[in-house]
Amino acid sequence: MRLEKKGAIITGAGNGIGRATALRFAAEGAYVIVADIDLDAAQNVADEITASSGDAFATHVNVTDRSSVNEMVQAALSRYGRIDILVNNAGILRDAQLRKLTEENFDAVIDVNLKGVFNCAQAVAPIMVEQGSGVILNASSVVAAYGNFGQTNYVAAKAGVIGMTKVWARELGRKGIRVNAISPGIIRTRMTEGIPEKILDKLLERVASNRLGEPEEIANAYLWLASDEASYVNGHVLAVDGGTVI
């Protein structure tokens, strides 16, 4: 098992990519902290893991609220005594063209998708430094590389995540901590369910594999980066996008 007895916090783990990652990590022996703003969804995932003889517990977290993040981290320490992996997966969409994008919706996406990543990483970094080891994995997006119509806020946040990833890799690498990011393409999740078929077809035109990705395919990439197999990978942004950016 590649993550045996590793303590892993996964934010936004109640659905989609987060859920798939929680299940995959648990199958590889990790103790999983299933964190989500929707506690019922998180509990369902934790129950699914324990029903399969894994070890997990659900906790509520609002990544924009530092006290909530600190409570999540303390709960993880109380339960498992260490935090080996953080997957900053929580994210939201509030799409609109520049002329129609409200300040409220701009701030909401930046707060969750960018500042939330900062909040969680800053909360676990001292613990990982004290341990002398750890892995922080951040969710960016393929749109950070090429922009996307109607996503000023989302693209800005995901591009910022890449920048923070590289800074943290430099700062924390000498402490035994690796920091990397995943850049997913168009993945079959609740976020993509609402995309009109015509628009989805247009988006898929630029994907070399000519299909949507599956949450499990992103989870597999997170697993590799979290494992010792990627022990010399630091400050990297791994595109898992079916060849969208070539």
3-class secondary structure per residue, the chain: CCCCCCEEEEECCCCHHHHHHHHHHHHCCCEEEEEECCHHHHHHHHHHHHHCCCEEEEEECCCCCHHHHHHHHHHHHHHHCCCCEEEECCCCCCCECCCCCCHHHHHHHHHHHHHHHHHHHHHHHHHHHHHCCEEEEEECCCHHHHCCCCEHHHHHHHHHHHHHHHHHHHHHHHHCEEEEEEEECCECCHHHHCCCHHHHHHHHCCCCCCCCECHHHHHHHHHHHHCHHHCCCCCCEEEECCCCCC
Is 195's pLDDT higher than 80?
A: no
Query: Between 198 and 111, whose confidence is greater?
Result: 111
* 139 belongs to a structural domain: yes
* 34 belongs to a structural domain: yes
- pLDDT of res. 199: 76
- pLDDT of res. 203: 83
pLDDT digits (tens, 9 = 90+) for 131-188: 999 999 999 999 999 998 999 999 999 999 999 999 999 999 999 999 999 999 999 9
pLDDT digits (tens, 9 = 90+) for 49-104: 999 999 999 999 999 999 999 999 999 999 999 999 999 999 999 999 999 999 99
- pLDDT of res. 18: 98
Is 191's pLDDT higher than 80?
A: no
pLDDT digits (tens, 9 = 90+) for 5-25: 999 999 999 999 999 999 999
Per-residue confidence band for 198, with pLDDT thresholds at 50, 70 and 90? confident
Length of the chain: 246
154 is catalytic: yes
- pLDDT of res. 164: 98
Please give the residue range of the domain that contains residue 118.
Answer: 7-239
Catalytic residue among 146, 154, 222, 232: 154
* 1 belongs to a structural domain: no
Domain count, the chain: 1
Instruction: Report the predicted TM-score, pTM, of the whole model to 2 decimal places.
Output: 0.97
Is 228's pLDDT higher than 80?
A: yes
- pLDDT of res. 16: 97
- pLDDT of res. 1: 93
Per-residue confidence band for 46, with pLDDT thresholds at 50, 70 and 90? very high
* 109 belongs to a structural domain: yes
* 223 belongs to a structural domain: yes
- pLDDT of res. 183: 98
CATH of the domain at 80: 3.40.50.720
